[in-house]
Amino acid sequence: MPAPENGSWVPVGRISGLYGVHGMVRVFSYTEVREGILSYPVWYLGPEHRPFRLMEGRRQGQAVVVELEGIEDRESARGLMGLEIDVPLADLPLLGPQEYYWAELLGFHVENLEGETVGRVTGFLETGANDVMVVHGGEGQELLVPWTEAAAEGVDRQAGKIVVDWHLDW
């Protein structure tokens, strides 16, 4: 499989520990359902996105434990410790027209209803009450905008733009 373009990778977890003596690793899954990470047959590890085929896996307490092809002993597994697990954005399930993966919105231009540039999306936060979009302005300011229907007026995937009902304070 050819590597996706830069920016089209989605982190789905990280290798968090060793499990047993035969090369299995513990995984901290970022997916909403922890074992959802097991639905991706190939994982791309580290900044160089080295592909590893998932051989088997299961939920084990709060973590997931897996066997990856080519990792046959504890020392080989140790070399994977701390690596981020990415999958291509194209491998994620399709969403409805008004649903978005946070990863696909990173870098989008943000403007308010008055057409003023707010900045670029640099991240999202889960707060419990509602999610929050992190926007960095041109002068290094950081703005936290609630990711709600009331605040996020529209997303234009083609233009890479989000319109928000938010007034600039800077």
Letter for the amino acid at 42?
V
Q: Are residues 82 and 107 in the same domain?
A: no
pLDDT tens-place values along the chain, 170 residues long: 444 454 588 899 999 999 999 999 999 998 888 999 999 999 999 999 999 999 999 999 888 999 999 999 999 999 999 999 999 988 888 888 778 888 888 889 999 999 999 999 998 888 878 889 999 987 778 989 888 876 677 888 889 999 998 877 65
CA distance 136 to 26: 34
Q: What is the pLDDT of residue 2?
A: 42
Structural domain contains residue 169: no
One domain for residues 79 and 115: no
Q: Tell me, what's the pLDDT at 103?
A: 80
Quick one: pLDDT at residue 9?
Answer: 87
- Same domain assignment for residues 86 and 109: no
The structure's pTM equals 0.71
Q: What end-to-end distance do the CA atoms of the chain give, in Å? A: 46
CATH at 25: 2.40.30.60
Contact assessment for residue 66 and residue 57, using Cβ atoms and an 8 Å cutoff: yes
- Domain edge (last residue) among 64, 91, 118: 91
Q: Which residues pair with 95 in a beta bridge?
A: none
* Same domain for 16 and 83: yes
Same domain, 61 and 135: no
pLDDT at site 170: 53
The C-alpha atoms of residue 81 and residue 90 are separated, in whole angstroms, by: 26
Domain hosting 81: range is 9-91
21 and 86 fall within a common domain = yes
